Structure 1
Amino acid sequence: MARAKKHNLSESCIDGILDNKRAAKSAKTSKNDSEQHLRAEGIYYEEEGLQRITPYYHKFATHAKGRWVGRTIFEVFSKEFRDRSVEYYEAAIEQGLIEINGEKVQKDTIVCNSDLVTHYIHRHEPPVTTQALGIVEKIQDGLLLIDKPGSIPVHPTGRYNYNTVTKILEIKHGYKTLFPVNRLDRLTSGLMLVGLNVDVARRMERDLTNHRIQKEYVCKVKGVFPEGKIVCDQPIRVVAHKLSLNCVDREQGKPCLTEFELLSTDGEQSIVYCRPKTGRTHQIRVHLQFLGFPIANDPLYCNREVWGDSMGKDGVLPPKKQSAEAQPIEEAVVADTKGMSGKMNGKRDDDGDNEAWKSVVQRMEEWKTKQELIEHITNTVDPTTGAQVCEKCSSPVLADPTPDELCIWLHAWRYSGPGWSYETSFPKWADGTVEHIERVKYQAGPSE
């Protein structure tokens, strides 16, 4: 009754809501049990060369924001969360997939202060590689060393939950408490250090911070890389956090240094050995771009549409876009990364504070939006003409990633610390160069 009084509902309205709630009971049970059922029946399956997850309902909950108070629940979702259609939110409310304080609502239910708003999202996780996540070694004092394939993120994030390193280790290998020490990008493969308790993880993180652990990578770059040791010490800064975009910036960048050495080349691309001496985000990728040899399949830093003909070599920025070129591209309908926020009010994802970088940020935003739009248009067709859409949520069935889109050609090959050293096998794209690694690979000296 407190809820009825709060929203000024009549007794007949209350009876109607209770009837609707009873009618939706089976649907609500289905969504509440979705993830538990998924665990019981088996989460992972392989199809067409990819590891997939059966779509499931995932619960997102948040307390009402101040600007929501006094508005109808339908208005809040249709205006604030624009990653889905108005028709979707109408159906979600009717089916009980949107709740307030655990109760079914109507379109005209008013949101009040401190309400808990819940949305059960029918989640479609992107597929990842079928390459197994390898256990390199388990150390008795609580350190696990793994070989991460490209395409798998470390933690649940965005559209990924079960197809992540921590969930795979938990479900397939039985590890319940995990503290990743080094976090490789989703598309990067190679050696990861994972603490099985917080003390080990903190100790390893201190060693990384204090440069007592040497990291060694291999990569495949565009062009013929020069012979001999090449050192890049250009400072790097974050230009746009949400775009994961980092660049060389001599004025505002943080000091960093990477050593490179050629392993082999076929005249068009080269396999390069990398020793980062610092640990900035995207350090190897940004330094290689600056040198004019970006990782050959890197969507961020080997992208002519974003960087122009110079491709960012020597820190040269693309020209500013003319007003006629810079017309906004229609936003694609893409899954919300948090299930609740969506693309709101057309706000740009631009946290660059330097005027010179705004053109790069704009180009990157427009390129990403265009890719989403192309994917959406390519894979979404009206059901009457044979659409590939989900029957439960009408989400488009998006195209599977190609093999080249599952990873970038960057691999964390070897990590060395005081009294220890561990390495992985070379990836397939670097086959034939492993015999050259002995002449260049890092050997820890007494002073290091």
Structure 2
Amino acid sequence: MSAASRNEVRKYEVGPAEAGQRLDRFVQQLLAPLSRAAVQRLIEEGAVLVNEEREKAGYGLRAGDVVEVLWQLPQRVTEVAPRALPLEIVYEDDDLLVVNKAAGMVVHPAPGHEEDTLVNALLAYRPQLREVGSGERPGLVHRLDKDTSGLLLVAKHQQALTALADMMQRRQIHKRYLALVVGQVPLDQGTIEAPIGRDPRNRQLMTVTAHHSREARTHFRVVRRFAQHTLLSVEPETGRTHQIRVHLKAIGYPVAGDPVYGRSNHRLPGLTRQFLHAAQLVLPHPVTGTTLKLEAPLPADLQAVLEREELL
């Protein structure tokens, strides 16, 4: 195999004989003589994608997976600037903290949002977080979309981050969201089980598809029915990108106010963003094992929508 130039982008489809291999071992064979540690750094930096998604080094490959190697590393944000922004801390101890993220706040730096993110605020609040995890996502265990409000879990040291990431993978961290959807959901409760992958017509979006997808499961329960809407309690069992929004759209009840997966002709007075709020986190403490149950009430803008006459 000839050596790749540093500007080359290479794609490989995993065959049946290679299925089951760890991602880092597979890529190391492709990029020999790079060390396994060097390959793991590439994976951590986002220079290796599986089906256009970032995966962990230990991800088990499946036949048909497309592995993309970006030989030139993306520029890494090595010094995220701390910035004193409003930050609501719901819980904190020596090992972790939980933030009630405001709608409109981006979680970590990205083009156009280098200094106004949750990470900037966290570094101003706790500078030592800079040493936890990767440079632009220090301490982050999971993420929320910009316009989704609610609870976000942050590790305060590397041991806690490793433990929480393992709990997330083992599905021991339970997240409950409140979502107002368009239409009256007839079932009192149910489960949506449908694989999610990139939309082949628009690679920026996710969709229910059997092509290069991953299993996804979402449980829902009706909290309240309105004239033309339903308030749901939603618990994603898996953690795919945009999972709740994609699954609810797939069964015909999109999240109200969703500019991407919602109904373009739907307008609800007073609603200026998607009605999706991360309301509850339940998890074992990563050090003590004690069960933590944390809650964040609906923010004022969403509560006001529920109280409007137009909804009733």
> What is the TM-score with the length of structure 2 in the denominator?
0.60
Out of 223, 232, 250, the residue aligned to residue 263 of structure 1 is 223
> Deviation at 1:404?
4.7
> Deviation at 1:225?
2.0
Q: Which residue of 2 aligns with 1:250?
A: 210
> Deviation at 1:210?
0.8
Structure 1 residues 166 and 251: CA distance shift in structure 2, 3 A = closer
Structure 1 residues 254 and 160: CA distance shift in structure 2, 3 A = same
Q: Which residue of 1 aligns with 2:292?
A: 420
Structure 1 residues 231 and 65: CA distance shift in structure 2, 3 A = closer
Are 2:258 and 1:298 aligned? Answer: yes
Q: What is the rounded CA distance, in whole Å, between the counterparts of 2:121 and 2:294 in structure 1?
A: 22
Q: Which residue of 2 aligns with 1:175?
A: 127
Out of 135, 139, 143, the residue aligned to residue 89 of structure 2 is 135
Structure 1 residues 226 and 180: CA distance shift in structure 2, 3 A = same
> Deviation at 1:248?
0.4
Q: Which residue of 1 aligns with 2:179?
A: 219
> Is the contact between residue 271 and residue 430 of structure 1 (CA under 8 Å) also seen in structure 2?
no
Q: What is the rounded CA distance, in whole Å, between the counterparts of 1:424 and 1:180 in structure 2?
A: 19
Q: How does 1:339-358 map to 2 (within 5 A)?
A: none
Aligned residue for 2:279, secondary structure, equals strand
What percentage of residue pairs aligned between the two structures are identical? 28
Q: Which residue of 2 aligns with 1:184?
A: 144
More helix by share: 1
Aligned residue for 2:213, secondary structure, equals coil
> Deviation at 1:243?
5.4
Aligned residue for 1:180, secondary structure, equals coil
> Deviation at 1:422?
1.3
Q: What is the rounded CA distance, in whole Å, between the counterparts of 2:176 and 2:298 in structure 1?
A: 12
Q: Which residue of 2 aligns with 1:101?
A: none
Q: What is the rounded CA distance, in whole Å, between the counterparts of 1:154 and 1:244 in structure 2?
A: 18
Q: Which residue of 2 aligns with 1:277?
A: 237
Stretches of structure 2 that go unaligned for 5 or more consecutive residues are 1-5, 9-84, 130-137, 285-290, 307-312
Letter in 2 for 1:195: A
The worse-fitting range, judged by mean Cα deviation, of 146-155 and 416-425 is 416-425
> Deviation at 1:303?
4.1
Letter in 1 for 2:293: S
Measured against aligned partners, the alpha-carbon deviations of 1:74-129 in whole angstroms (never above 9, x if no partner) come to xxxxxxxxxxxxxxxxxxxxxxxxxxxxxxxxxxxxxxxxxxxxxxxxxxxxxxxx
Are 2:183 and 1:229 aligned? Answer: no
> Deviation at 1:272?
0.8
Aligned residue for 2:165, secondary structure, equals helix
> Is the contact between residue 220 and residue 430 of structure 1 (CA under 8 Å) also seen in structure 2?
no
Measured against aligned partners, the alpha-carbon deviations of 1:294-345 in whole angstroms (never above 9, x if no partner) come to 011111101448xxx9xxxxxxxxxxxxxxxxxxxxxxxxxxxxxxxxxxxx
Q: Which residue of 2 aligns with 1:203?
A: 163
Out of 102, 105, 108, the residue aligned to residue 152 of structure 1 is 105
Stretches of structure 1 that go unaligned for 5 or more consecutive residues are 1-63, 67-130, 310-402, 434-448
Measured against aligned partners, the alpha-carbon deviations of 1:103-159 in whole angstroms (never above 9, x if no partner) come to xxxxxxxxxxxxxxxxxxxxxxxxxxxx9431001122x201100011111111111
Aligned residue for 1:179, secondary structure, equals coil
Structure 1 residues 137 and 268: CA distance shift in structure 2, 3 A = same
Q: How does 1:377-388 map to 2 (within 5 A)?
A: none
Q: Which residue of 2 aligns with 1:410?
A: 276
Structure 1 residues 165 and 235: CA distance shift in structure 2, 3 A = same
> Deviation at 1:424?
1.1
Q: What is the rounded CA distance, in whole Å, between the counterparts of 1:244 and 1:227 in structure 2?
A: 31
Letter in 2 for 1:156: P
Letter in 2 for 1:139: D
Letter in 2 for 1:425: P
> Deviation at 1:175?
3.5
> Is the contact between residue 260 and residue 275 of structure 1 (CA under 8 Å) also seen in structure 2?
yes
Letter in 2 for 1:260: F
Q: Which residue of 1 aligns with 2:80?
A: none
> Deviation at 1:193?
0.5
Q: What is the rounded CA distance, in whole Å, between the counterparts of 1:249 and 1:145 in structure 2?
A: 34
> Deviation at 1:201?
1.1
Aligned residue for 1:168, secondary structure, equals helix
Structure 1 residues 253 and 138: CA distance shift in structure 2, 3 A = same
| Structure 1 runs of 4+ with >6 Å offset | none
> Deviation at 1:290?
0.6
> Is the contact between residue 86 and residue 121 of structure 2 (CA under 8 Å) also seen in structure 1?
no
Structure 1 residues 432 and 245: CA distance shift in structure 2, 3 A = closer
Rg bigger for which structure? 1
> Is the contact between residue 150 and residue 187 of structure 1 (CA under 8 Å) also seen in structure 2?
yes
Letter in 1 for 2:298: F
Measured against aligned partners, the alpha-carbon deviations of 1:263-318 in whole angstroms (never above 9, x if no partner) come to 1132122211101111111111011001111011111101448xxx9xxxxxxxxx
Aligned residues: 208
Q: What is the rounded CA distance, in whole Å, between the counterparts of 1:167 and 1:420 in structure 2?
A: 26
Q: Which residue of 1 aligns with 2:66?
A: none
Q: What is the rounded CA distance, in whole Å, between the counterparts of 1:146 and 1:168 in structure 2?
A: 11
Letter in 2 for 1:423: E
